[in-house]
Chains A and B, each alone.
Chain A
Amino acid sequence: MIVDLAIITLKAVLVVAMVLNLAGVLGWIERKGSALIQDRIGANRASIFGFAGLGLVNTLIADPLKFLTKEDFIPPKGDRFLHTLAPCMALFPALVTFAVIPFGDVLNFGERVINLQVASLNIGILYVFAMGSLGVYGIVIGAWASNNKFSMLGGVRGSAQMISYEVAMGLSVIGILMVYGTLELQDIARDQGTLIRDLMPSWLSFLTPIVGWLPAWGIFLQPVAFILFFTAAVAETKRIPFDLPEGESELVAGYHVEYSGGKFLMFFAGEFAEIVTAAGLVTTLFFGGWQVPYLMRDGFHFPWGGTLLLPHLLIVLMQVTAFTVKVVFFCWVQILLRWSVPRFRYDQVMRLGWKMLLPLALLNVAVTAIWIIAAQ
Chain B
Amino acid sequence: MDTASFIFYLLATLLVIASLLVVFLRNVVHCAMALVTALLLIAVMFVTLHAPMLCVLQVMVYAGAIMVLFLFVIMFLNPGALEQQRGLWWGFGTLLAMMLAGVLVPLVATSDLPADPVAATELFGSPEMLAKSLFSDYVLPFEIASVLLLVAIIGAVVLAKREN
* Residues in A lying within 8 Å of B, measured CB to CB: 79, 81-82, 121-123, 126-127, 129-134, 136-137, 140-141, 144, 152, 156, 159, 163, 183
Contact = CB atoms under 8 A, between A and B. Distances in A.
Interface of B: 27, 29-30, 33, 36, 52-53, 56-57, 59-60, 63-65, 68, 71-72, 75, 126-127
Given A140-B68, A159-B68, A133 B59 contact: yes
A82 B29 contact: yes
Contact of A123 (B27, B53, B64, B68): B53
B74 to A, nearest CB: 9
Contact of B56 (A79, A81, A130, A152): A130
B63 A134 contact: yes
A82 B68 contact: no
B64 A136 contact: yes
B29 A127 contact: no
Given A79-B29, A159-B72, A163-B65, A126 B60 contact: yes
Given A79-B29, A122-B127, A133 B60 contact: yes
A140 B63 CA distance: 13
A134 B75 contact: no
Q: Is the interface of B mostly helix, strand, loop or mixed?
A: helix
A266 to B, nearest CB: 18
B63 A133 contact: yes
A141 B71 CA distance: 9
Q: Is the interface of A mostly helix, strand, loop or mixed?
A: helix
Given A121-B52, A123-B53, A126-B53, A141 B33 contact: yes
14 contacts: A79-B27, A123-B53, A123-B56, A123-B127, A127-B56, A129-B60, A130-B60, A131-B59, A134-B63, A136-B64, A137-B68, A144-B71, A144-B75, A159-B72
B160 to A, nearest CB: 15
B125 to A, nearest CB: 9
Contacts of B33: 82, 141
- A-B residue pairs, 7 tightest by C-beta: A133-B64, A130-B59, A130-B60, A130-B56, A126-B56, A123-B53, A136-B68
A352 B72 CA distance: 23
A79 B33 CA distance: 13
Nearest to B69: A163
Contact of A122 (B27, B64, B126): B126
